Structure 1
Amino acid sequence: MKKYIIIPILFLLGALSIKGIFFFRETTIEETITYQKEYEITLRQDLFSLMMAYPEYIIDIEVEEDHQVYLVLKSGNRILYDDKKEKTPLEKIANPDLQDMMEQQYLLGPIDELMPEDYNPGRIRVYPLLKEVYGGNPREIEGNLIGIQIHAGYHRFNSNNAAATFLKKAFTELNYQSKNNPEIWSYLHPIGGTYNYRYIARTNRLSSHSFGISIDLAIHPADYWQWATKTQAEKRLENYPQIIVDIMESNYFIWGGKWGQFDIMHYEYRPELIKKAKYFSEKHKDLWYENLPVEDSFVSEVVCLIEERL
């Protein structure tokens, strides 16, 4: 009797287990499809932001049979978008691909507290791209530098990719604002520095100052994460003029004050991150390019190229 009762129970349990397995597989497949769709959208947004940021230097996209995507540079060199490797935050900084560099979305606009420690958009730099655009060694870089007059002094900045042009434009606006708001002046001057070919302390990685694309404004003891406590830095942020941040961001400079490893005096010319933040901060709709000004002929050309290549 017991045998006849046990058999149906075992059969029922088996059926439930099989159903559970199929449900698990179905969920996993759905999650995989969702992830892949989001990845393809992000890929396109990243490529668009990069091509818009470096229009003279990134000339094409190539996709190999293993679905590896490369940006083709004017020199003929190629840079891999995604090496598909799992990396720790330190590994991403030490050996990044373009996907690593673009992964953290830069936040435009005001902030009222320090960012999380692991939020540092812009600290990951793909050096083959920077060397292609701004110069591969000190001699090449220095050949691209021009002097920008800021108050009574001249500061060297890279003229390639309109970096110096936008720095000059930013300071024209900042100087105008400081006439009506003298408090801004103390945050701007004296300038902490621009071009300085050097390695980041205790690393073999070049500082962005080495390429002549960064500027440190007036230096304060609470500006840097290795000098100051979180409390000191947040007190500094409370009084920091938002107009400075807005003007610098509108000219394609990211602000180190929005890094978890904060560097409040530091601004870095990174048009790819500003453009991605500008165009893709809102959640996408059905089409990844839906919020773009496609009536702009160059925007439309880049969108068409991406769709054609991918």
Structure 2
Amino acid sequence: MVTTRFAPSPNGSLHLGHAFAALVAHDLAREAGGRFLLRIEDIDGARSRPELAEEFRADLAWLGLEWAEVAPQSARLADYAAAADRLRAEGLLYPCTCTRAQIAASARETGPEGPVYPGTCRGRGAPAPGVPVAWRLDVAAALARTGPLEWVDALAGPQRADPARLGDVVLVRKNEPASYHLAATLDDAADGVSLVTRGRDLFAATHVHRLLQALLGLPVPRWHHHPLLIDDATGTKLAKRRNSPSLADRRHAGEDGAALAAALRGHRFPAGISLGQRLHRGT
């Protein structure tokens, strides 16, 4: 059975890009007679606002979606800690004290997620007691253990896993229980997600997630990296930090959620989408 999920973080209201992502996940599951899950990713420190989870549910219902809700990330902290402990015990994690500014200044190359960490702290050992650390995955050591890996995207086809292009990614943040890479990989396995749907901007992250699945003995899903909605005015993807118009505002203004969903569904699988401001104007 196909199981998909929509996993928003309650650090800002949902916008059209989120609606598009939720519709893709929902419809792919329903077309296959499967399950569509809602998971709240609420471990973003002080930025997480619990009251937004109820707003998200109202937005999805307004779009006409039906879902089963699973445990939020805040209820899974023990699972993240156990996985990190396992990788640490196997010598695959090392502590890092570097700041973003230090990494940007010392990076020798830029990858899909920005400056690639040059391995400054690899092999240094434990820092002084009380010094905040992040825990990074030693990707070279991990790949030496797993050997070559592959994964399949429904739109782009078979892929050879290449996690090294992102460098030694953080799996446990300095002030948070887990990074996106570790938490999302564990959550999808625990929830039985068999088709991971998300935007093309996260395509590169999947190379890391495939490596984590191999290291932790997790099932391997298929992926579907869909196009992104683009703001016609700026040429950039819709984002919370750019104050893209929220679904809640549209809903409270009396806009027809079913009609909006139908408009988004009409543009689900093209090579590229440029609909942000046009849909914002209600055309």
TM-score of the two chains, using structure 1 as the length reference: 0.26
Larger-gyration structure (1/2):
1
Structure number with greater CO (CA < 8 Å, separation at least 6) is 2
TM-score of the two chains, using structure 2 as the length reference: 0.27
- Considering fraction of residues, name the structure with more helix: 1
